[in-house]
């Protein structure tokens, strides 16, 4: 519809706004008042993410009329009403943080994000959302250009400026297609990275509380560091994860 065509501004605004948030975090990590190099305090960073996600979700609901979900195997999208807003917020915040956690090896976040945007570009094409398709394919081209400098050994690093923006934008694209239930499949690597970090921290705290000594599930979290410490070279880990992402994206497009 014409409205969907104009709504291409939504992922663009999300890309810029989350990029600026990530830039502030990166700058504070380099020359901020904190001496640990960790950037913004987690509570402030989370607050900004919440506000941006709330504004984006409300905008998609009230101004774009997006309030449904596509369920694989069901022809018509399912209207979920106002609950769409908190769900959309969760999707945006979770995906931005998941891609952020994935950004730990040369070329990893960039390559996996590129294939995910390619998948949603195909889905947008199948739906006739050609402006959104063009946006997705433009993101793919930009990411491959970035990977020329970010591939191992990297000359340029993404940082939170790129990873937060890519994750949030990918989530918005998924929400605009209505196929956001497929995001855990299309973004399988991102889910695995985030889940490994949650499990690692949770299990460590639980065992420390009950045994007095914290234990770990993985050698190190997020997941890519576990494989690194297992003796697999960095560029091989990136290649394996990219191939897994490519297979998962193919399945996601097929389900769509």
The confidence score (pLDDT) of residue 112 equals 96
Report yes or no: 249 and 111 within 8 Å, Cβ to Cβ: no
Query: What gap in Å lies between CA 43 and CA 135, rounded to an integer?
Result: 32
Bridge partners, 67 (sequence order): none
Stretch 150-161: mean pLDDT, rounded?
87
Spatial contact of 191 and 184, defined as CB atoms under 8 Å apart: yes
Residue 62 has pLDDT above 60, yes or no: yes
pLDDT band at 33 (very low <50, low <70, confident <90, very high): low
- Please give the Cα distance from 222 to 193 (Å, whole number): 5
pTM of the full predicted structure?
0.92
In this model, does residue 69 exceed pLDDT 60?
Answer: yes
pLDDT at 190: 96
Kindly report which listed range (24-33, 134-143, 191-200, 220-229) carries the lowest average pLDDT score. 24-33
Q: What is the pLDDT of residue 154?
A: 81
């Amino acid at each position: 519809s014409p409205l969907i065509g104009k709504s291409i501004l939504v992922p663009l605004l999300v890309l810029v706004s989350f990029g600026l948030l990530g830039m502030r975090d990166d700058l504070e990590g380099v020359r901020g008042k904190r001496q640990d190099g960790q950037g913004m305090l987690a509570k402030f960073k989370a607050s900004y993410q919440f506000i941006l996600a709330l504004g984006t979700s409300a905008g998609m609901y009230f101004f774009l009329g997006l309030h449904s979900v596509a369920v694989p195997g069901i022809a018509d999208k399912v209207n979920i009403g106002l609950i769409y807003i908190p769900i959309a917020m969760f999707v945006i915040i979770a995906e931005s943080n998941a891609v952020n956690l994935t950004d730990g090896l040369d070329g990893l976040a960039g390559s996996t994000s590129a294939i995910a945007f390619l998948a949603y570009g195909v889905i947008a094409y199948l739906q006739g959302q050609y402006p959104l398709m063009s946006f997705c394919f433009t993101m793919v081209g930009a990411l491959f250009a970035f990977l020329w400098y970010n591939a191992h050994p990297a000359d340029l690093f993404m940082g939170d400026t790129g990873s937060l923006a890519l994750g949030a934008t990918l989530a918005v694209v998924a929400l605009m297609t209505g196929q956001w239930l497929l995001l855990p499949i299309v973004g399988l690597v991102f889910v695995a990275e985030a889940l490994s970090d949650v499990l690692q921290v949770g299990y460590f705290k639980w065992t420390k509380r009950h045994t007095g000594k914290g234990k770990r599930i993985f050698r190190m979290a997020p997941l890519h560091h576990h494989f690194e410490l297992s003796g697999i070279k960095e560029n091989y880990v990136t290649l394996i994860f990219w191939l897994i992402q490519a297979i998962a994206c193919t399945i996601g497009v097929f389900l769509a």
